[in-house]
Amino acid sequence: MLCELRCSIAVRTSTTSAAIKSLLELLNHHNKEEKNFIIKIGEKLFHSSQDVSAGIWAYGYTKRVSLVIKNDAMHHNFEEFSKAADAEMQLQNKKILSNERVITVLNSCNDPQRNANCLVFFSGMREVGEILEGASENAGRKRRQVTKEIEYHHKWLDGVVNYIFNDSTSQTVRKCFLKAAEAWQKETCITFTQGKADTGYLVVNDEGVYYSHVGRLGDEQPISLDRSTCTEEIGRAIHEIGHALGLYHTQSRYDRDSYLNVNLLKIKEPYRVEFGIIPENETDLYEAKYDYGSIMHYAAVIEDPAMIPNDKKYLRTMGSQMFSFTDLWLINEFYGCHEKCKQGPHLECDNGGFPHARKCNEECTCPSGYGGKQCKIRPEQCGDERNATDKWQYLDIDIKNSIGSEEYAKCYYWIRSPPGTVIEVKIAQMSEFSAEGCWKAGVEIKTNKDQTLTGYRFCSEDDEETEILRSHSHLVPIIAYNKKFFTFMAKLQYRFVDAAKQTGV
């Protein structure tokens, strides 16, 4: 249903505005009268009639109420602000306003491409029909680099994330949150601890939608998962926790336009802000390159995409529900996990890998398709190694998930060729497992030059028309994966050619 989505918003504030400074100060110093007034404004945010054009964020209906305004032109007193809220707020879903729920609101700025101070980033996963112009209400689902330490976007102190569950949160959502938190904890130096903390804590809600704030707020902080999908689509829970740890959407990187063409005319006006760009001075990329396969990247609608990668073969890669190597690199760097390893004995890793945050001297965190203690060998799951010749050969892939839909079954293949050659791969046949981000099942072919980045993913019969892929080296890792009980099949062809005669893609 359209509009039936609550989401937490990362609001960019201008610290030079006296009005904003005074309002921010009220967050910690408001008296009872002011608090009640803010509560009334929070109610109005859900029942007024127009679109908001200055970013407003209010939450905490009975336990904690906070207000952030992010536009220099915003009004200087609560009376004017209240009138503005009445006049400008879009009608929101009334069922979410209750004494037991956190209020979250927002909408748009007029031109997110030009006005950096007017960016509001929604972390909830929306229905495509909500966002795209002309999309049907039954359209399929669609799917941040790291924030700097600025007001309202803090790191979790010492990498410890405290959390509690709302009393009404279902056991399903509790299990999903714990599983997603464990996934982050396993691959980083982040620790999740149940219980409140004076420095801030997450409150895990079961709101029927996905949302999270970006970074640590410093107080009670809501995060919500959807019980109906989170068990099978655990990547969506991992995505929301990624926001809470400080990650922005990948397509909001300041260098986005060098990798992605975004057609705002295909996006409904209230949601165009979700595709705005975060200024360079508010994020830190830690030299991480743009990764279409990041778990923080929105998916594209294949039939009529609003986002088209410059390299169109990455179209189905966007919208992944699996960690990318870049996601792990960013969080490990942001929280100083790499530096901790450097201070003691640690492994030297090949192929762009880095010492594992919890096992610095025992194993490396490797890019997809690489394994072993130092990322030197093929991962030890199913699959095999093949030697290419100058004639086309077939690689038949047949993978079924027998471990349950909460986990991916994976097989790894390496195609090798002699020095001085590169490898060509083409798709002969492909099962029809079409899904945005190929999250159900698919094959990832890593002919890309930078092997730390996610490769090209395919999962549809339509991909049989894909142009021949050419490597930049004499090794191509191929990863087949499946999260469904149905068998995924693909037939690939491969051969080597003289590197001097090929430019590579």
Active site residues: 240
Secondary structure class of 487 (helix, strand, coil) = coil
Rounded Cα distance between 21 and 28, Å, is 12
Q: Report the Cα–Cα distance between both ends of the chain, in Å, rounded.
A: 41
Q: Is 369 left (phi over 0), alpha (psi -120 to 50) or beta?
A: left
Secondary structure class of 127 (helix, strand, coil) = strand
Give the containing element (helix H, strand E) for 54: none
Tokens of 88: 């400008």
Confirm whether residue 239 is marked as ligand binding. yes
Confirm whether residue 76 is marked as ligand binding. no
Least Cα distance to 327 among 409, 241, 224 occurs for: 241
Rounded Cα distance between 360 and 340, Å, is 9
Rounded Cα distance between 331 and 338, Å, is 10
Rounded Cα distance between 86 and 202, Å, is 30
Secondary structure class of 312 (helix, strand, coil) = helix
Q: Please list, in sequence order, all residues whose beta carbon lies within 8 angstroms of the beta carbon of residue 404, skipping any fewer than 6 positions away.
A: none
Q: Please list, in sequence order, all residues whose beta carbon lies within 8 angstroms of the beta carbon of residue 118, skipping any fewer than 6 positions away.
A: 12, 54, 55, 70, 71, 109, 110, 111, 112, 273, 276
Confirm whether residue 474 is marked as ligand binding. no
Least Cα distance to 484 among 445, 432, 429, 412 occurs for: 432
Tokens of 65: 């109420």
Least Cα distance to 307 among 247, 259, 243, 254 occurs for: 259
Annotated binding site for Zn(2+): which residue ranges? 239, 243, 249
Q: Which residues are annotated as a binding site?
A: 239, 243, 249
